Amino acid sequence: LLVTPLSSRRQPLHALQRQIDLKADVSTVQVTELSPKTEYSITVYAIYPSLIGDAATSLPQVSNFRVIEEGLFSLRLGWTLPIGKINGFKIFIPRANRPGFTYEQLLPGDTSSHVIDSLEEDKKYIVSIYTVFPEGPSEPVSVVGKTGHIENINLGDNFNFYMIQGLRAGADYTVTINPIFGDIEGPVTTRRAKTESSAVQSLKVSAVTTSSAVVSWNSVPGATGYRLAWGPTPFVGRDRPRQLALNGTTTEYHLKHVAHDTEYVLTLYVLFGSVVGPGISATFRTAPLGYVSNFKVASYTSASIDVEWSPIVGATEYRLTWKTGAGPQSKYLDHGVLFHRIEDLSPLSTYTVTICALYGNAEGPEISLSQLTAVSDSDPIQAPREVKVTDIGVNFFTLSWKKTSGASGYKISWTPFLGEDKTHTVSGSSTSYMIKNLRESSAYKIQLSSVVGNKEGSPVLVTAGTDLPKVNGFEALNTTDRSTVLNWTRVAGVSGYSLSWRHISLDTKTEILGPAVTSFKIGDLLYGRTYIFTIRP
């Protein structure tokens, strides 16, 4: 048995390959010590006294293989494409009523849905799908589907309405009616209708903070309650999913006491008395513990420094620390306090002042600034006003401010939170400056101070983060009345793509795609409608 990890491009990493020798009477084995979130190739060789037999290698199967719609004479199937170079898919149905006969269909490698028609009404069918790779076919994945059936009823001439009962939830039905005149049937009138679904159709997560989120969903008619389960992904140790029962009138729940900067998976089940209906899942990620923003020196004297900052959502306290050559001193301040005067300082001394937000028992990252106290209590140089980042790109910021009276120039410095700082000085008439050549998707500390002659005033500190790179070349090609193919240019260093689409009157659908994917076919679109497609790396 050869166990070989694959790279993100599905290339075998032979240097990390392991070989496991098994006895001839062994037909199952548990492979341990694997790396998380890693794709593996498993190859089995039969060993004979003088030779080694052919290899049997596992290939990835399709996931989420399902019946989307059951018609009278058709089944619509859908699935999620596996990662890798795919030649195509093979759909296969054995015909129970005709032994030896099968339905087979070979589909292109970018297909994610298919309609099988010419079936019999009210019949169960076992449908299998194989992924066809250049190396060969994968193991099949199967699903059971059943066509809808026709029921007839004759009504008297005094009927002008009729309630059809015993229908399945979330199913499409075709209803026909025609008058009867003695032995002669009149013209047929046909209408299509769909029953309400027994499953939640829309599960949304909003108002996400460092420790909470609001979960909402649509009401399901006839539901007596809901069961909400949640837990971090992947589940580790004691972090198993938690569950909560909610009554049938609830369509929103405020999830609290979750960990910061952690991905969670939610599953919501519908309850009909003692029967548990189908579930729907969603994922979300809590916000990381944030830096305190706009931390700056408001004023200073020979014996004091006034600092101020902006509020941060979720903070329960702030811890302020200052030090010079001696040991540090600290002060804990309530979350509503946004200003503090540090007193009893020494004149003409440089103090490092640090602040961080506390989130309950968790401590956010620190941010620091330095300030030289005055020689005497004379008026200090005025700090710049209304300092802010007005434009943010993938690798640049634009910093703007209001002019300071008497300033001959301004000193700008910017520092990544893990890196060296850079500085630049502009004239006293400047009110903005574009900082270029920054790292994408990175946080920066930016300081601006007024300069009068050869003296520098107290800096104003702001924080900002550059954007993630955007997807280029995003376009829709090969559009038909039911589908379209989306293409884009690959983004370097990306770990995947989030592709979503919606019609103005429908819920948003989302697919998470691998880093090598640059094309995706979307089917099941409605004819003559306008759709909005969005892709994010």
Output the CATH code of domain 381-467.
2.60.40.10
Is 304:341 a contact under the CB 8 Å cutoff?
Answer: yes
Among 16-20, 102-106, 332-336, which range has the highest average pLDDT? 332-336
Residues with Cβ within 8 Å of residue 419, at least 6 apart in sequence = none
Percentage of the chain exceeding pLDDT 70: 92
Element (H, E) at 143: strand 141-146
Residue 310 pLDDT more than 90? no
Residue 239 pLDDT more than 80? no
Residue pLDDT, tens place only, 448-463? 998 887 788 888 888 8
Q: What is the predicted pLDDT for the residue at 56? A: 53
Domain 472-536 has CATH 2.60.40.10: yes
Q: What is the predicted pLDDT for the residue at 401? A: 93
Q: Tokens representing 194? A: 């769909």
DSSP letters along 185-230, please?
E---EEEEEEPPPSS-S-EEEES--SS-EEEEE---TT--EEEEEE
Tell the burial category of 474 from Cβ atoms under 10 Å away from its Cβ (0-12, 13-18, 19+).
Answer: middle
Q: Tokens representing 490? A: 């690959």
Whats the size of the chain, residue-wise?
537
**Cα separation, 481 vs 526, whole angstroms:** 7
Q: What is the predicted pLDDT for the residue at 14? A: 78
Q: What is the predicted pLDDT for the residue at 235? A: 54
Q: Tokens representing 317? A: 């306290």
Q: Tokens representing 365? A: 């990252």
Percentage of the chain exceeding pLDDT 90: 13
Residues 2-7: contacts with CB within 8 Å, 24+ apart? 2/41, 2/42, 2/43, 2/44, 2/45, 3/31, 3/34, 3/40, 3/41, 3/42, 4/40, 4/41, 4/42, 4/43, 5/35, 5/38, 5/39, 5/40, 6/38, 6/39, 6/40, 6/41
What is the average pLDDT value for the chain, to the nearest integer?
83
Q: What is the predicted pLDDT for the residue at 254? A: 93
The arithmetic mean of pLDDT across residues 101-106, rounded, is: 79
Residue 377 pLDDT more than 60? no
Banded model confidence at residue 5, pLDDT cuts 50, 70, 90? confident
- Buried residues in 194-218 as b, exposed as e (16+ CB within 10 A): eeebbbbeebebeebbbbebebebe
The arithmetic mean of pLDDT across residues 378-388, rounded, is: 80
Q: Is there a cis peptide before residue 416, judged by omega within 30 degrees of 0?
A: no
Least confident of 35-44, 159-168, 273-282, 418-427: 159-168
- Quick one: 63-146 is in which CATH superfamily? Immunoglobulins (2.60.40.10)
Banded model confidence at residue 236, pLDDT cuts 50, 70, 90? low
Residue 404 pLDDT more than 80? yes
Residue 240 pLDDT more than 70? no
Among 70-74, 206-210, 247-251, 524-528, which range has the highest average pLDDT? 247-251
Element (H, E) at 258: none
Residue 322 pLDDT more than 90? yes
CB atoms within 10 A of CB 146: 15
Domain ranges of the chain: 2-52, 63-146, 381-467, 472-536
Q: Which residue reads 């006003």 in tokens?
A: 385
Q: What is the predicted pLDDT for the residue at 10? A: 67
**Cα separation, 276 vs 279, whole angstroms:** 9
The DSSP secondary-structure symbol of 16 reads: G
The arithmetic mean of pLDDT across residues 214-229, rounded, is: 88
The arithmetic mean of pLDDT across residues 172-194, rounded, is: 84
Q: What is the predicted pLDDT for the residue at 443? A: 84
Residue pLDDT, tens place only, 29-86? 888 888 887 888 888 877 776 665 555 556 778 888 888 777 777 888 888 887 777 8
Q: What is the predicted pLDDT for the residue at 50? A: 60
Q: What is the 3-state secondary structure (H, E, C) of 89-142?
A: EEEEEECCCCCCCEEEEEEECCCCEEEECCCCCCCEEEEEEEEEECCEECCCEE
Q: What is the predicted pLDDT for the residue at 264? A: 86
Q: What is the predicted pLDDT for the residue at 51? A: 61
Banded model confidence at residue 398, pLDDT cuts 50, 70, 90? very high
The arithmetic mean of pLDDT across residues 338-343, rounded, is: 92
The rounded Cα 472 to chain-centroid distance in angstroms is 20
The arithmetic mean of pLDDT across residues 396-418, rounded, is: 87
Among 43-52, 251-260, 270-279, which range has the highest average pLDDT? 251-260
Nearest to 414 by CA among 379, 450, 452, 445: 445
The better pLDDT of the pair 194, 196 is held by 194
**Cα separation, 483 vs 76, whole angstroms:** 14
Banded model confidence at residue 221, pLDDT cuts 50, 70, 90? confident
Q: What is the predicted pLDDT for the residue at 207? A: 82
Tell the burial category of 385 from Cβ atoms under 10 Å away from its Cβ (0-12, 13-18, 19+).
Answer: exposed
Domains 63-146 and 381-467 share a fold: yes
